[in-house]
Structure 1
Amino acid sequence: MTVSTLDRRSFFNKLRNRQSSKLKKGLFANAKRLRPDAMELPPVPPAATMVTLGGGLDPYQGPWDAEQVRHLLSRTMFGVKKSDMDLLLGMSMEEAVDYLLDVDNTPLDPPVNNYYQDGLEEDDGYEEPNVALGETWVNEPYNEDGEGYRIESFRGWWINQMIEQKTDIREKMTLFWHNHFATQTNQVFFGKFNYNHNEKLRANALGNFKDLTKIITLDEQMLIFLNGYLNGKDAPDENYGRELQELFTVGKDGDDLYSEDDVYQAARVLTGWSLNFASDDWETVFYLSEHDQGDKQFSSFYNNTLIEGGTDGEAEVDALLDMIFAKEEVSKHLVRKIYRWFVYYKIDDTVEQDIIEPLAALFRDSGYEIKPVMEKLLKSEHFFDALNKGCFIKTPVDIVIGTLRSFNLSLPDNPLWDEFVMQYVLGVLMFDMQMLPGDPPNVAGWQAFRQVPQYYRIWINSDTARNRNIYTDVMTAVGIEPYNEDSETMIIDHIAFASQFDEPSNADKLIDDIVKLLLPQPISDSKKGQLKSILLSGLPNDSYWTVAWFDYLNDPTDPMALEVVNVRLTFLLNYILKLPEYQLA
């Protein structure tokens, strides 16, 4: 089937059937698709007794040292790099938070065609008929054979944005919004829509929540994902009208909630918004002929608001959002989600009263601007409370991307095929840990941020714990091999990592510096002793490490000196990355 003969019905039938382009040759010939169809996780043991975090929203006045800086970076970025720690240590707490919130909204270079390689014994990937290697595909019309590769190209591009992120909060916020306005590539099988949707989230990462909600309401990706494109006056589709209220704005935690009829009335407001299948872009369009022009009467929850019908579909959308955002529940719902994403999952009465409600009031007073809320939270005593450090189980994205960043690793970009392969492999690794960017389990997002009582602990089970350890074993010992033999294996450079610290020849100082960078809290003296024993290979005197280090520095080409230092550091870092503390942020 060609693009020119592809009609609306056949396209969406393919979406519903979750078909992908055929991964025809080479690496992907027998590959399992990265498609988490039903990823509800098994239950985990009940929660242990929990302690309420202290502090309020007053500005933090305590020490500003490596422990505080690491905590701030681990919650606002993926992984902690020494260069980022050094940068923020040269600032005050207020300056550091301001720096992280000073987001550059310049559009990023789009993903490119990196999914074809010729010149080998057998060509591999997919050869685009209209997009040259290295050129972007994001402006191209739907291509049945190519969309699977374009989606993986988009996903890999997103992974690379996380790895190469600037020292700011933008990428962490982009993933937060992806979890909030959740969609799935396996339901919207059009690479361009997935990319455009992701860029809208990124561009509005610290912007206005109400504005972003309108953008997403009329977004092509969301119109497909929740069937908005099918919402017509003769058969209103309630999917988006329901999730708009239940998941995206009001929530479902209050005693007094919207009614089922409110869902129906919202669906009537949104009738007529669809996609223009007569164009190559399939952009959002409003069809007046499909719009219910009658008045829409809402319940007492919305103060019996009446939205007058008519011919102006966008005006009705604005009226709907004005009505919804007049409810205090909207601000509280979003602030709770921010809190669980950046601080801790447990919201008891004290946290609700001292943190959630004041932040929600600030949110409303600002006209639903995100940045003032984040600034207040990240500068607060509560955020830096000692009990808050190391209580957050890292997401799979934090483990995979954060490890690469902490060890200063980047993806190869030459040839492009190696970049594509590496990005795909990283996606497989995160999928095996049950968090694949682009494919949360459903419209409610990942369970770790919503499923009572497990929350974050849902990330850890017998399979995912093993896969996390396999990943760190691979990165410390053997690395991820590229497709082409001439390209470099992606593996931790242990000596380069140690060399960035002030006194790598000093065993105690080196271990202290590594622990401060990689772990959320100080460790016991006995555990430090274990680490030192590993670095010294069980020998009794610190000089064994000092001499070995200087032997290497004096002649880095000496294979024996290189092996002694590298093997000791390999065992040390492998052990640290296996510590339970490394799974925490």
Structure 2
Amino acid sequence: MDNNILWSLRLGFSSKEAQAISDLGLKKFLERSFESKPQTKNPDFLEDSPKTIEDFKQIRMQYKENNTEARKQLRITEAKVSQDMKAWWIDKMRTDEFPLREKMTCFWHNHFVATFQKVKVNYYIYQHHQIIEENAFGNFKELTKKILKSNAMVRYLDNTDNKRGKNNENLSRELLELFTLGIGNYTENDIKNGAKALAGLGIGQDGAQYRRALEDNDSKTYFGKTGNFKCDDLVDIIFEQKEIPYLLTRKILGWFIYDTPKDELVRYYGDYFREMNFEIKPLLTKIFKEEYSKNNAGSKIKNPLEYILQLMSELHIDNSNSKAVAFFIKEQGMDLFNQPNVKGWVGGNSWLTSQVYLQRNNMADLLCSGRGLNRKNLKPNEEMTGKSFNKKGATIDWDNNGNNKKIIAELKDRLLCEADAVSQKDFETIIKYDFNPKAENANQVVLRLFNAMVKMPEYQLI
């Protein structure tokens, strides 16, 4: 098994970076990944979406006039923009030379959840995404402060309804339960007083801001400290708590390497994370370099993105419709910008239900055969109908100087598939001992072998 391929999948979404990891070495590859720059220019698809307070005032006026048609058209337009945003992000994941930033952005996207379905403003979701991408390798505490003051987050967790004397505790609770400390490391009084400190923090022009008439300026006691605390103060106090590193190190290990990381490993890296003052870059470097040398293949089930983007990369499918890719992963339970709830995608075994496995096998058939997408085989929306994943036919790389066993071994190595005697016999039934690698139909035979391999349970693991 090629360890560089394994880590190419873990540090990105396909095996195409394996050669770079081999040539540069893991340390240099990580350095180049950390040096990658996020996009700062607003994408064209946001050009006509509402962005300013004035834009939203005009929309509210339309609503007050009970203009049903205007409401309907705005919903349709913004839903299309949301689809464009998903495709835009998938394109970045597929084409980035060093995709670790996008992989880490996706991690944060599932940690600091804020969905379009609830927020309903694409520009706020995009701003939230940009905060995450720009700070993907930065400081956890500083990122938490920025996210807490994003318009998307205060709207998603109902802090726009949190005011002095009438508190909404959602943001205060999830700040502790899901974003920083985890259940059991705070009290209900901490939640209540945190909500008071967050009262009045609502939508602003460039980010959330306090409304003087709604904020609470009385003293609050939070984790044993008393004062007139605001959102940044809450984060500073939270990050003084003993258990602060471990929720995040458990989730990072789970996202990249182990579906169920051991407690001692979570503590080991968590203690280092605290020593590094919650800087993400040194934490990732230590985790990846130390776990790289271990025999940890097969410890994590591929999420839908890793599955489909690896498959497309192996088959050299470059002309795909990214909206169709977004639809496929949505069907698999990984809808970008629309997690099922504030806890995000659960991952692990949830990525391999019988329905998900069947969908993956159907997708393998589609891509290997070169058939296009249509309502019958993938239930796409009208915008996708008739589009094709693979207009030119699938091709894969393989050594046409080898015999059948060498070709089987090459693909098993590349796809990280260990095969037992029964599977090996099945493979040799597809590509027989007298296989002629120079024959006209040789590529089609190897494609059938590839298709059989990617349907194995072992292919679902990294």
Task: Note the alpha carbon deviations across 1:485-511, whole angstroms, 9 max, x for none.
Answer: 99865268444x22xx45455544433
Show the counterpart of 2:454: 577
Q: By how many angstroms is 1:245 displaced? A: 0.5
Show the counterpart of 1:290: 214
Aligned with 2:437: secondary structure?
Answer: helix
Show the counterpart of 2:109: 178
Structure 2's unaligned 5+ residue stretches are: 57-73, 375-382
2:145 & 2:171 partners in 1: Cα distance? 12
- More deviation, 435-444/507-516: 507-516
Aligned counterparts, 1:288-437, within 5 A: 288-298=212-222, 302=223, 304-308=224-228, 316-347=230-261, 351-353=262-264, 355-380=265-290, 382-386=291-295, 388-411=296-319, 422-437=321-336
Distance 1:151 1:489, change over 3 A: closer
Distance 1:212 1:196, change over 3 A: same
1:136 & 1:485 partners in 2: Cα distance? 25
Show the counterpart of 2:14: 79
Distance 1:271 1:96, change over 3 A: same
Checking the alignment, whether the CA contact within 8 Å between 1:207 and 1:370 is kept in structure 2 is yes
Q: By how many angstroms is 1:317 displaced? A: 2.0
| Root mean square deviation of aligned Cα | 2.7
Checking the alignment, whether the CA contact within 8 Å between 2:372 and 2:388 is kept in structure 1 is no
Q: By how many angstroms is 1:360 displaced? A: 1.4
Q: By how many angstroms is 1:352 displaced? A: 2.6
Q: By how many angstroms is 1:172 displaced? A: 1.2
Q: Which has the higher helix share?
A: 2
2:456 & 2:111 partners in 1: Cα distance? 31
Aligned with 1:379: secondary structure?
Answer: helix
1:434 & 1:106 partners in 2: Cα distance? 27
Checking the alignment, whether the CA contact within 8 Å between 1:505 and 1:545 is kept in structure 2 is no
- Is 2:27 the counterpart of 1:94? yes
Instruction: Tell me the amino acid that sits aligned with residue 329 of structure 1.
Output: E
Structure 1's unaligned 5+ residue stretches are: 1-65, 114-130, 310-315, 413-421, 449-455, 549-560
Distance 1:200 1:484, change over 3 A: closer
Aligned with 1:90: secondary structure?
Answer: helix
- More deviation, 262-271/281-290: 281-290
Checking the alignment, whether the CA contact within 8 Å between 2:315 and 2:368 is kept in structure 1 is no
**Kindly, what percent of the aligned residue pairs are identical?**
25
Aligned partner (choices 349, 352, 360) of residue 468 of structure 1: 360
Aligned with 2:6: secondary structure?
Answer: helix
Checking the alignment, whether the CA contact within 8 Å between 2:319 and 2:391 is kept in structure 1 is no
Distance 1:430 1:228, change over 3 A: same
Show the counterpart of 1:555: none
- Please give the TM-score of this superposition, normalised by the length of structure 1: 0.69
Aligned partner (choices 514, 518, 531) of residue 427 of structure 2: 531
2:386 & 2:329 partners in 1: Cα distance? 26
Aligned counterparts, 1:78-227, within 5 A: 78-81=13-16, 84-100=17-33, 102-107=34-39, 110-113=42-45, 137=49, 141=55, 143-227=74-158
Task: Note the alpha carbon deviations across 1:528-583, whole angstroms, 9 max, x for none.
Answer: 453243134xxx42xx42331xxxxxxxxxxxx3xx23431331121111111111
Checking the alignment, whether the CA contact within 8 Å between 1:535 and 1:572 is kept in structure 2 is yes
Aligned with 1:297: secondary structure?
Answer: strand
Task: Note the alpha carbon deviations across 1:357-403, whole angstroms, 9 max, x for none.
Answer: 232122112221011111111111x45422x2012111112112232
Aligned with 1:447: secondary structure?
Answer: coil
Instruction: Tell me the amino acid that sits aligned with residue 365 of structure 1.
Output: E
Checking the alignment, whether the CA contact within 8 Å between 1:220 and 1:283 is kept in structure 2 is yes
- Please give the TM-score of this superposition, normalised by the length of structure 2: 0.86
Instruction: Tell me the amino acid that sits aligned with residue 295 of structure 1.
Output: S
Q: By how many angstroms is 1:284 displaced? A: 2.6
